[in-house]
Structure 1
């Protein structure tokens, strides 16, 4: 491996998620020349120069229409064929149990099988991912590499100092992130309505469609304790949103969700979470500093969510700083277990082992 090793990291930029910037910037500091996947076949010279291709969320397809879905699928098959033909090293990061896009489920699973069979390494961000992969692909063991999700400390700006003297009721809950159906926002709104006096819920993020925006606005209509900031939230505003909350609430789908950058974001800025016990939560093993839960049905999900909100309300009423203290302990844990410099270092080591 040389200081100017040419690789593709896809996507190499994402305005809605600094996860990509952390890794790409870190790789470039270690001497890697990072290119876009779109440029992979731009010229024979460029194609030959690429030594390694690292794909993220590659199994997700454009399901806006049947035609778009099939076009997306075949384009990705061409990319994988080019990687194989060119004898490039292939790395795939497993982010989710399943694709979140329901319409393209079968094609997405077929693409995932292709990725797994062709990859020289499969990066996972949580231990449970290995169990899932080994269950589906028993011979995969040697390819699996566990590298934690990087922390977001100071990535979106400095953390705002706490004002512990003026924390008061009601309990301020925050949902933050892209607004998509699998994140169960409707369920969250339904539960929040039951706590009209004790809870103030803010939902902040950009809906994936105008129809879904209208659906959520209709759902929250008449609920004075629910604020919908349904728009893209600029990076520099994220610390303030988090600072104004007592904790984040993220009722993700256990069927598809496995890792969560928003959970890591909340911890990085000193807030704990109410969240199903997905892989990100499981790995940190934080005990009572996280309000995690499990469920099998939608009704069980609603009950579990309501129960954890009640627990948080009681703690907040007894000591308005107790939730903040939990958040700060989670921040220390993430800075230790998910240190972004160490994450990049381990990725560089992986690339080195594949390219030697």
Structure 2
């Protein structure tokens, strides 16, 4: 028996497609009702893709990861795919110069045009206006503008996506489907109590705990938040505590984070990937989850905070990205730490209100991965059927 399906481990794309068609036929789908969806790039540590595709078979979609785009051009003429693209900045992974990035952009967009000419359908999920750490912003704008022009269907999660992206590139309203980010209900362990979580992290019950969670890098505002924390600490009369947890970034950046946190009793730094059973410890120990990002559109960390009943502090462009949680989200002006501190204080007040956890718990249940996956495919299917 093979392990969990992961394309690229000894199986060709053609084999994945035939397996998918056989599985769909067994599920009662055939002909035009059976669709193959290949997603790129596949990301294993972020559960978003598995969550989104969780109910695909219920709607006639066999979904599988695609590691090599080149294989698509070798498929027989009778095999057509829905090509679902996610984090486009990965196109630049092997680029070191602007010239290379321009060439990668042109090559990728040419490939998309060939896929359409061959009869495949192109679907794009807009995760961000630009990637958090855009190394080639002008080239990435061109890449996204090209994708926006070529894609048959564009999936957005933040209701304001079109307007927020408009200064950089244009999204055609007629091709948009809006389905929000799912909660993480049932994805992460969720069984310890908040007091146990604080005990595990050596925190006191009356500490005011702020969590910064996720992979560590200079593009997320972590350094700026830590450097300015003393101003917030004064307002908290020394009761403030900061938890920073996530996979480490570049060595020079981590040196800066270590310099800011070392020797401080009010800051804790975990430089490691947090496994699915340990995520609950950090979120349940926190009063408030802070996303001090200078730019953003959607956030899995924000959705995780809501799943665990914790209010969040996010940049203003992100504040309405999870419909139904607005009352539990405090927005700040990106780049303004005083604004961020004020939002943190307001979020602490929300954390103390009993209805906040209830509101977020209701949101998490209504937007579970199963529910959002069903909504995604129900929204997608008629758009595909309307295509020429």
Corresponding position of 2:284: 243
> Any idea what SS the aligned residue of 2:142 has?
helix
Change (3 A) 1:111 1:235: same
Q: Given the alignment, which residue of 36, 51, 54 partners 1:25? A: 54
Which residues of structure 2 form unaligned runs of 5+? Answer: 1-30
Structure 1 match to 2:108: 76
Cα deviation per residue 1:171-198 (whole Å; 9 max; x = unaligned)? Answer: 1111111112221001111232341721
Mapped to 2, the partners of 1:124 and 1:306 lie a distance apart of 30
1:127/1:279 contact within 8 Å kept: no
Provide the residue aligned with 1:50 in structure 2.
80
Q: Tell me: CA distance 1:322–1:78, structure 2 relative to 1, closer, same or farther (3 Å).
A: same
Per mean C-alpha deviation after superposition, the further-off stretch among 204-213 and 166-175 is 166-175
Task: Indicate which of 29, 33, 37 corresponds to 1:7.
Answer: 37
* Conserved? CA contact 2:328–2:347, under 8 Å: no
Q: In the alignment, which residue of structure 2 is the partner of 1:65?
A: 96
Partner of 2:365: 335
Give the Å deviation of 1:74. Answer: 4.8
Greater shift, 263-272 or 323-332, is seen at 323-332
Q: Equivalent of 1:113, from 145, 150, 153?
A: 145
Shift of 1:251: 0.8
1:306 aligns to 2:341 (yes or no) = yes
Contact 1:9 1:53 in 2 (8 A): yes
Of 225, 246, 249, which aligns to 1:208?
249
Tell me the distance in 2 between the aligned counterparts of 1:81 and 1:170: 56
SS of 1:343's equivalent?
helix
Deviation of 1:215 after TM superposition, in Å, equals 1.6
Specify the SS of the correspondent of 2:309.
Answer: coil
Tell me what 1:154 maps to.
186
Report what 1:233 is aligned to.
274
Paired residues in the alignment total 343
Q: Secondary structure at the match of 2:278?
A: helix
CA contact (8 A) 1:160 1:239 kept: yes
Check conservation: 1:204, 1:228, Cα contact below 8 A. Answer: yes
Select 1:277's aligned residue among 313, 316, 335.
Answer: 316
Following TM superposition, by how much is the alpha carbon of 1:11 offset from its aligned partner in structure 2, in angstroms?
2.8
**Structure 1 unpaired stretches of 5+:** none
1:229-283, Cα deviation, whole Å (9 max, x unpaired): 1111112211121112122111111xx3111111011101121112222335355
Contact preservation (8 Å) 2:177, 2:380: no
Look up the match of 2:259: 218
> 1:264 — aligned with what?
303
Superposition deviation, residue 104 in structure 1: 1.0
Match of 2:14 in 1: none
TM-score calculated relative to the size of structure 2: 0.78
Deviation at 1:121, TM superposition (A): 1.1
1:137 Cα deviation after fit = 6.0
Instruction: Evaluate the alpha carbon distance shift between residue 345 and residue 251 of structure 1 in structure 2; reply closer, same or farther with a 3 A threshold.
Output: same
CA contact (8 A) 1:59 1:112 kept: no
SS at match of 2:226: helix
Matched residue of 2:154: which SS? strand
CA-to-aligned-CA distance 1:142-180 (integer Å, 9 cap, x gap): 11111111111121123434559x972221111111112
Say whether residues 1:182 and 2:219 are aligned partners.
yes
Assess if the C-alpha contact under 8 Å between 1:134 and 1:141 holds in 2.
Answer: no
Task: Verify the 8 A CA contact 1:246 1:324 in the aligned structure 2.
Answer: no
CA RMSD of aligned residues (A): 3.0
Say whether residues 1:132 and 2:164 are aligned partners: yes
- Which TM-score applies when normalising by structure 1? 0.84
- C-alpha separation in 2, matches of 1:323 and 1:180: 33
- What is the Cα deviation at residue 139 of structure 1? 7.6
Q: Using the alignment, how far apart are the partners of 1:187 and 1:203 within structure 2?
A: 13
Q: Within 5 A, what are the aligned runs for 1:310-321?
A: 310-312=345-347, 315=349
1:169 aligns with 2:200: no
